[in-house]
Structure 1
Amino acid sequence: MTRQRRRAQTRALNNSTPLRLVFALICLSLASLMAHAALAQEKIIKSHGYSYFGELKYPADYPYFDYVNPDAPKGGEISIALSGTFDSMNPYSRKGKASALSTVMYESLLGEVLAGGGALPADADGELYGLLAESLEYPETKDWVIFYMRPEARFSDGTPVTAHDVLFSHNLLLDQGLKSYADAVRKRIPKAEVIDDHTIKFYFTEGISRRSLIDQVGTVPVWSQKWYEDTGARLDEGRLEVSPGSGPYLIDQIDVSRRATFRRNPDYWGWHLPINKGRHNFDRIRLEYFTDATTAFEAFKAGEVTFRTESDPKKWASFYDFPAIERGSVVREELPDGTPPAMTGIVFNLGSEAFKDKRVREAVALCFNFEWTNKSLLYGLNAQQRSFSTGTDLESKGLPAGDELEFLKSLGDIVPSALLTTEPLVPHTSDPDRLLTRKNLRLAKKLLDQAGWVTGDDGIRRNAQGKSLTLNFLFNSSGEPTDRAIGENFVSNLKTMGIDARFESVDSAQYTKRERDRDYDLVFDGYPSLMGTGTGLLQRFGSEAASYSLFNPAGLASPLVDAIINKSLLTSSQAEEDMTIRALDRVLRHEFFLIPTGYAPDHWVAYWDMYEHPEKQPPFALGALDFWWYNAEKAEALKASGALR
């Protein structure tokens, strides 16, 4: 518009517009100018990493993570035994059973999940550092985020990793990924756009919590758009062929249900990055699959596999006395585990008709004797989970008081009065010398009678309609023998109460399908520990996806749990967040949807004496496949002695 034309329009307005309209236009112009000024003054945060409250342990120029050995040698092989089967390398589909480590080839904008479990870095909870992205920026409001990618990043086929691949991967998970994930993300991330080949921006929905948004988009695995378009492959299908990744490992060899081998990529683009120093040290990672846990253990004893994380207390206490241990060829260690234990055990399917009555769940739980199980089957090595945050300051204790009490009261009528007047639920105690404790049996029978399940002349409990109380306990036949013994003894106690209980041991393929379809009343499963808030809590414990989420094996759906999680997502300080998590722990225990069966307080590991690890173990990961390394001299000594082939 020319200056003369603007002046003409101004004169026309002055001649024809009432004074009030002129004043209104002036006000609108001033408001617009003020809005632009506010945007200009809005603080934009630029960083090499991200945490919700903005605090990072490692500065922008960090050389490597504190717990790694930056001079760790590269080389060698580590092999691990697994029980069961696999027929796919795609873990993002409900079809097929994917091999372990089938995501190890892929990277994300901000760090990744460690191979073998845990988060990165392993010594700082809730922090992420740039990997495919060298930096990010976002406003204090966290309404959006921009990632600036490293232009040198390459897929293993040599093609560049671009912002177009990031956008493609984000959309692919929404269109073809797990429904519970896609439903949650669509509501929170309405738009993403590529700014240029190495810059991408994500926008977040107005009026919702900013929790788990930047870290959500920053940790999406990045796949090659070109490969998917060229092959026509889908994310929702089981398959062995996979897209090229940008990570330090490649698939080397796949033998379905027998072996999966991964090799370190010497041409990996990111070896120079500080996030990778002292990590990814093995030339090969080999996974060996066996039909059952007993065969897998025998393979370790024979040196066919070389590293083992032990989960069975019975084995740890009494099976590690074979010749290789006695002559020092195998090392046995207990390493500290700084994470609160997961809440694992016997999970109730809350969709089962009988379990909709909490009294039935309580009665069934009274038939599990942790003390006897720990003494008789687990050599006293397990500890009992009290809460979803056992042993941390997030564990709810005593009567609700102070801020937590006020918080619970603010939620209104959905809070049961008992929550405000009773201490958090803790596991019952039992006689360690008797499989079935009589006082617990009497209480359990009373609860079942109150729930309308009365004992008939044949000793079987039935309801008013004459239907027997029938429960099936689903078990994977490739599981640990000790777990089988725990389940069978528990079912024996259930039968003593007149419950028609059945222990169903099925093969791995059938177990996977039935578990996904929730075709069980009881199953060994669990939930991760509570370490903080995030939208992932809604996938684990929320009502919206409860009927189909693979992450919620009980099918928990509670308006009170939903309300606490949603309030927790809106907290503005660490203290406030911690208070809501303690309240959540209290309520989850009140909902009573699993029977905790205990946990090992440390990492139990055994390995052939050719591996080494940092002297100081980081608190949040064992990291054997990530930051341990191979000692070639020790390996040669084992071979020279005939201990290993």
Structure 2
Amino acid sequence: MFAALSRSGLTLRALTGAALSALALGLPAPAFADGHAKMIKSHGYSFYGDLTYPADYPHFDYVNPDAPKGGEISISALGTFDSMNPYSRKGRGGALSTIMFESLLGDGNGEASAPADVYGESYCLLCESIEYPETKDWVIFNMRRDAKFSTGDPVTAHDIAFSHNLLLDQGLQSYADAVRKRIPRVEVIDDYTIKFYFTEGISRRSLIDQVGFVPAWSKKWYEESGARLDESRLETSPGSGPYMIEKVDVNRSIVYKRNPDYWGKDLPINVGRHNFDRIRVEYFGDENSAFEAFKSGAYTFRSEGNSKQWATAYDFPKVTAGHVVKEEIPDGSPPSPTGFVFNLGRETMQDVRVREAISLAFNFEWTNESLQYGLFKPRASFTQDTPLMAMGTPEGAELELLQSLGDVIDPAVLTEEVRVPHTSGAERLFDRRNARRAMRLLDEAGWAVGDDGRRRNAEGEPLRLTFLLNSSGSATLAAVVENFMSNVDNLGIEAVLEKVDASQYTLRERDRDYDMVFDAYAAFLGTGTGLMQRYGSEAAAFSLFNPAGLASPMVDAIIEASLQAQTSEEEAASLMALDRALRHEFIMIPLWYNDVYWTAYYNQYAHPAEQPAYALGYLDFWWYDAEKADALRAAGALR
């Protein structure tokens, strides 16, 4: 499943999900004999300085440079939206509403990365080159003079500086607080040259890539319109990217069209990409209505996440006739660490014995066979099936690292086998062996069973577990949660499943108004300060990307040690230790994963024969086949 790690280092791709965080110790500064650091000038960036693509690369290896331009791809989204500003906590942002905005370093459309065949590398887009000393104390971006917003106005260093400062003044608090500590100054040298300075004595991880991925917003538009980044609004600033908004129908659909005057269409980074004339997003109230709409042709591409539907529902006539293609495509990325996440801010969830007991109520084997057609594998790790996945007891470089951190490391981490999910019998939902273990743990934790079969503490307070679930999600997930909660109830815990609509779910998730929620953390293949935002203590009380509210001195220490790694080998050892520590902290019940993408699409699209490891890329480097599309319409399969 996992392609070999060719590069290291965490690139912070999406600004809505990226932030910087706690300070780390600095790295030694390499220098020449005269005391001046060695200077680097490049067409891209990776932390260790090695790039797969040379300065004169014609295009990324995995794209079809001759891919035709044209046609439309349409996808679905569930729930509602009331804003086209995804950078604010207010409102519910529309799907793909960041697609218009580019950055100094290039990225992919949608959830894709670019390039999608290597990890931890980025290449110039709005910039034509970057310059920095080997110490990485600062970075200069030399910008392309032909870059333009969709209005025709040039994209200048003033816009980049404005965007950086706008995120600090009006962006997410966790982002702004951390960035100010690490990036104290930005300087506009001239209209097309900008310099960022980094704080002395801290890790150089994720600094250059951080500023390189700030979205470029129009300073002129914001100043003339009076708009704010922290407000919910449908009007958007002009972007410089290949797509722009054509139509927004609130809660129903969004259409993005290719900018016919896109300035960067011939750049090597863009060759073979951005091939569709239009990208349409259709909204539906629930998963069932979305699937029925796909069958009717209301939209044309579907990335399936429901195992029951994948196993049983793709036998409709259009599939049989070949009008709809059902295809499994290999996924080389580590699976997202998805699971039932405990809210550690709730007092009852702070006792690991209670969390362990609740976890024993989940029966993966029964769930997979009875509800998911045996299509999934059990997930154990935050770096599942990669060379960074912790195994057994720590040894070698990993053990040395953990021992070097002293008393902050729980002694059990050094001597015990890494935590792996329990196993259950598949023949019945309620595994009695695991239930007995769970009941002993609850007894030990002080939650005794009363005459009514309910568990209470010494003060007579009942043990209650409230699970927050988005009602617009799949019926299969709802069935999984319902059966899990039934088992929880059988342990004497008051199990409350609260299904709420998408807007309520968003608000309550932001406020952590739950004991448990179905959510995910970010997998990691390299180190970076984004790990602190997701797993560290500093922003744990309010971070949107740490749904458990994890605040662990042990995890913090390992992340800081990882930030100091000076070689890829040291980095790998630290990330293996991080995986081990996160599993020890037990912030979620790990669920399942799939090492292929389940895709279904009307037979009018094509993709590269060799799929890149790190992205499906259907919005990025797939393309439209006009002859096949005409055949579909002639057959009546599409309108």
Is the 1:80–1:288 Cα contact (8 Å) retained in structure 2? yes
Residue from 307, 314, 331 that aligns with 1:337: 331
How many residues of Structure 1 are paired with residues of Structure 2 in the alignment? 609
Q: Is residue 2:347 matched to residue 1:353?
A: yes
Q: Distance in 1 between matches of 2:370 and 2:597?
A: 22
Residue from 298, 313, 321 that aligns with 1:319: 313
Q: Is residue 2:535 matched to residue 1:541?
A: yes
Q: Is residue 2:607 matched to residue 1:613?
A: yes
Q: Is residue 2:160 matched to residue 1:171?
A: no
Q: What are the residue-to-residue correspondences of 1:116-127 with 2, within 5 Å?
A: 116-127=110-121
Q: Distance in 1 between matches of 2:170 and 2:459?
A: 44
What is the aligned partner in structure 1 of residue 152 from structure 2? 158
Alignment deviations for residues 324-347 of structure 1 (CA, whole Å, 9 cap, x no partner): 001110001000100111110111
Q: What are the residue-to-residue correspondences of 1:471-550 with 2, within 5 Å?
A: 471-550=465-544
What is the aligned partner in structure 2 of residue 188 from structure 1? 182
TM-score, normalised relative to structure 2: 0.94
Residue from 533, 541, 553 that aligns with 2:547: 553
Residue from 33, 38, 49 that aligns with 2:34: 38
Is the 2:32–2:38 Cα contact (8 Å) retained in structure 1? no
Residue from 191, 201, 204 that aligns with 1:210: 204
Residue from 617, 623, 629 that aligns with 1:629: 623
What is the aligned partner in structure 2 of residue 31 from structure 1? none
TM-score, normalised relative to structure 1: 0.94
Residue from 411, 415, 437 that aligns with 1:421: 415
Residue from 34, 44, 48 that aligns with 1:49: 44
Give 1:597 deviation, angstroms: 1.4
Q: What are the residue-to-residue correspondences of 1:115-514 with 2, within 5 Å?
A: 115-514=109-508
Is the 2:247–2:256 Cα contact (8 Å) retained in structure 1? yes
Which structure has greater helix proportion?
1
- The one-letter code sitting in structure 2 at the alignment partner of 1:83 is L
Give 1:118 deviation, angstroms: 2.8
What is the aligned partner in structure 2 of residue 111 from structure 1? 106
Structure exhibiting the larger radius of gyration computed from Cα positions: 1
Give 1:181 deviation, angstroms: 1.1
SS in 1 for 2:256: strand
Give 1:138 deviation, angstroms: 0.3
- The one-letter code sitting in structure 2 at the alignment partner of 1:271 is K
Q: Is residue 2:71 matched to residue 1:76?
A: yes
What is the aligned partner in structure 2 of residue 96 from structure 1? 91
Q: Distance in 1 between matches of 2:625 and 2:112?
A: 24
SS in 2 for 1:82: strand
Give 1:37 deviation, angstroms: 7.9
Give 1:115 deviation, angstroms: 2.3
Q: Distance in 2 between matches of 1:94 and 1:351?
A: 21
Is the 2:410–2:554 Cα contact (8 Å) retained in structure 1? no
Q: Distance in 1 between matches of 2:77 and 2:400?
A: 48
Is the 1:313–1:378 Cα contact (8 Å) retained in structure 2? yes
- Where does structure 2 lack aligned partners over 5 or more consecutive residues? 1-30
Bigger RCO of structures 1 and 2 (CA < 8 A, at least 6 apart): 2
- The one-letter code sitting in structure 1 at the alignment partner of 2:315 is D
Q: Distance in 1 between matches of 2:539 and 2:126?
A: 31
SS in 2 for 1:38: coil
Is the 2:408–2:557 Cα contact (8 Å) retained in structure 1? no
Is the 2:63–2:621 Cα contact (8 Å) retained in structure 1? yes
- The one-letter code sitting in structure 1 at the alignment partner of 2:46 is S
What is the aligned partner in structure 1 of residue 28 from structure 2? none
Q: Is residue 2:62 matched to residue 1:67?
A: yes
Alignment deviations for residues 250-304 of structure 1 (CA, whole Å, 9 cap, x no partner): 0010011110110001100001100000000000000000000000000100111
Is the 1:82–1:293 Cα contact (8 Å) retained in structure 2? no
- Where does structure 1 lack aligned partners over 5 or more consecutive residues? 1-34
What is the aligned partner in structure 2 of residue 10 from structure 1? none
Q: Distance in 2 between matches of 1:454 and 1:184?
A: 44
How has the CA–CA distance of structure 1 residues 523 and 36 changed in structure 2, closer, same or farther, with 3 Å as cutoff?
A: closer
- The one-letter code sitting in structure 2 at the alignment partner of 1:48 is H
- The one-letter code sitting in structure 2 at the alignment partner of 1:372 is W
SS in 1 for 2:377: coil
SS in 1 for 2:34: helix
Is the 1:81–1:299 Cα contact (8 Å) retained in structure 2? no
Alignment deviations for residues 130-182 of structure 1 (CA, whole Å, 9 cap, x no partner): 00000000001000000000000000001010000000000111111111111
Give 1:361 deviation, angstroms: 0.4
Q: Distance in 2 between matches of 1:622 and 1:159?
A: 33
Is the 1:165–1:222 Cα contact (8 Å) retained in structure 2? yes
Percent of pairs identical after alignment? 66
SS in 1 for 2:425: coil
Residue from 563, 567, 572 that aligns with 2:561: 567
Alignment deviations for residues 477-500 of structure 1 (CA, whole Å, 9 cap, x no partner): 100000000010011001101101
Give 1:116 deviation, angstroms: 2.8
Dislocated runs of 4+, deviation >3 Å: none
Is the 2:221–2:237 Cα contact (8 Å) retained in structure 1? yes
Q: Distance in 2 between matches of 1:515 and 1:326?
A: 41
Q: Distance in 2 between matches of 1:419 and 1:319?
A: 45
Is the 1:81–1:287 Cα contact (8 Å) retained in structure 2? yes
- The one-letter code sitting in structure 2 at the alignment partner of 1:477 is S
What is the aligned partner in structure 1 of residue 15 from structure 2? none
- The one-letter code sitting in structure 2 at the alignment partner of 1:258 is R
How has the CA–CA distance of structure 1 residues 408 and 641 changed in structure 2, closer, same or farther, with 3 Å as cutoff?
A: same
- The one-letter code sitting in structure 1 at the alignment partner of 2:461 is K
Residue from 589, 595, 606 that aligns with 1:601: 595
Q: Distance in 2 between matches of 1:388 and 1:127?
A: 21
SS in 1 for 2:378: coil
What is the aligned partner in structure 2 of residue 32 from structure 1? none
Alignment deviations for residues 534-560 of structure 1 (CA, whole Å, 9 cap, x no partner): 000000000000010000011000011
Q: Distance in 2 between matches of 1:344 and 1:585?
A: 14
Q: Distance in 2 between matches of 1:446 and 1:50?
A: 53
SS in 1 for 2:499: strand
Give 1:521 deviation, angstroms: 0.6
